[in-house]
Amino acid sequence: MIISNMEEIPGKPVLRHLGVVQGSTVQTKNLFRDFGAGLKNLIGGELKSYTALMNEARHEAVNRMTREAVAIGANAVVNVRFATSTITGGAAEILAYGTAVVIEGGADG
Amino acid sequence: MVELWIDLILGVGIPLVLLVLGFVVGSWAERRHFRRLIENEEKLRGIMGFAIRRAPRDLDLAAPKLVTGSAVISVDYFKRFAAGLRHLIGGRVGAYESLFERARREAVVRMKEEARAHGADMILNIKFETVRIFGRQRGGILSVEALAYGTAYRTGHAGPQIPQS
């Protein structure tokens, strides 16, 4: 499975377009992890627990998108984009979307 | 008289201490972060990043992989105060500019590290996204997340051919 945010995969022409696939998760901060982050309110700096949280969420969104692509018989997803929106109550939605395609020569390499 | 002193300490003294603490520790941490960024950027110089949408035809590109990097950076007490003052008269908020810069450069460093772990040496179609997360609602911490992502490739050594004269 090739995941790319380019329009095409070099050297592997697109045989068939299968439409848009997407995956999303809604995450909220962990109150306990937030405890240590309170200090950061004062001295600033990186909120490592938030970075980890967003990374996990983004991974999960990409995984869900990939599963959807596999389910419809794609071997690559191109033109992948991320979008994030914060909804009230300290929660964020992370969305990954792209175009599922069948490319020549399979997904290896 | 005693009550006045207590009021004064609570009302002025504590915020003042927080301000000084925020300024001293915050700017020290910021300088240290910038030094680390320069170091890491130097180490990752071998991985080239481009914001182009289409792959150049004369490059042999293999093993495409979506790579991402992100960093969440929060403001310190002093910066928030300085930005609050700036809000009154408007204009450039220098205190927050460095915040975005740190987050974005850190995101690029992490994206390149992921690319290097994949054995890639080039990233194409780099995109940036900035999110203000978990705002101030419910006592949250004002912070920004910078995300950088792109497609990493291993470039063949075929490369652009240099004609022999």
Query: Does residue A11 belong to any structural domain of this protein?
Result: yes
Query: Does residue A66 belong to any structural domain of this protein?
Result: yes
Domain ranges, ordered by start, for chain B: 2-155
Runs of H (alpha helix) within A12-105: 31-43, 48-71
Runs of H (alpha helix) within chain B: 2-8, 14-43, 77-89, 94-117
Best probe of the A interface among B33, B99, B141, B149, by most A CBs < 10 A, is B141
Instruction: Specify the pairing of strand A2-3 against strand A76-87.
Output: parallel
Query: A89 to chain B: which residues are within 8 Å by CB?
Result: 137-138
pLDDT category at A109 given cuts 50, 70, 90 is very low
ipTM score for this prediction: 0.87
pLDDT tens, position by position, A32-41? 566 666 677 7
Take residue B87 and report the two structure tokens written for it. 């809000």
CATH number of the domain that A75 lies in? Answer: 3.30.110.70
Tell me the residue type at B154.
R
C-alpha to C-alpha distance for B15 and A37, rounded to whole angstroms: 19
Mean pLDDT of B123-143: 73
C-alpha to C-alpha distance for B71 and B128, rounded to whole angstroms: 12
Take residue B50 and report the two structure tokens written for it. 């481009």
Range of the domain at A17: 2-103
- Taking an 8 Å cut-off on Cβ atoms, the answer to whether B54 and A6 are in contact is yes
Task: Determine the pLDDT at residue B159.
Answer: 46
The number of beta carbons lying within 10 Å of the beta carbon of residue B72 is: 29
The number of beta carbons lying within 10 Å of the beta carbon of residue B131 is: 21
DSSP string computed for B52-64 = -SS--TTS-EEEE
Take residue A101 and report the two structure tokens written for it. 């395609």
- Taking an 8 Å cut-off on Cβ atoms, the answer to whether A38 and B141 are in contact is yes
pLDDT category at A81 given cuts 50, 70, 90 is very high
pLDDT tens, position by position, A46-75? 888 888 888 999 999 999 999 999 999 999
Contact A83, A57 (CB under 8 A): no
Of B65, B71, B153, the CB nearest to A51: B71
B156 to chain A, closest Cα gap in Å: 12
Q: Does residue A42 have a pLDDT over 70?
A: yes
Query: B18 to chain A: which residues are within 8 Å by CB?
Result: 42
Fold of B2-155: Translation Initiation Factor IF3 (3.30.110)
User: Is the alpha carbon torsion for A52, B149, A64, A104 positive or negative?
Assistant: negative
CA B152 to chain centre: 20
C-alpha to C-alpha distance for A10 and A56, rounded to whole angstroms: 29
Rounded to 5°, angle at Cα B59 from B58 and B65: 145
A89 to chain B, closest Cα gap in Å: 7
Q: Nearest residue of A to residue B73 by CA position?
A: A46
C-alpha to C-alpha distance for A18 and A13, rounded to whole angstroms: 14
Q: Which SS3 state, helix, strand or coil, does residue A72 take?
A: coil
pLDDT tens, position by position, B99-131? 899 999 999 999 999 999 999 999 999 999 988
Take residue A24 and report the two structure tokens written for it. 């999303």
Q: What are phi and psi of B94, to 5 degrees?
A: -60, -35
CB pairs under 8 A between A and B: 135
Structural domains of chain A, count: 1
Region at A82 (left for phi over 0; alpha for psi -120 to 50; beta for the rest) = beta
Contact A73, A86 (CB under 8 A): no
Q: Which SS3 state, helix, strand or coil, does residue B124 take?
A: strand
B90 to chain A, closest Cα gap in Å: 23
Take residue B71 and report the two structure tokens written for it. 């960093």
Q: Does residue B63 have a pLDDT over 50?
A: yes
- The residue whose two tokens read 């240099």 is B162
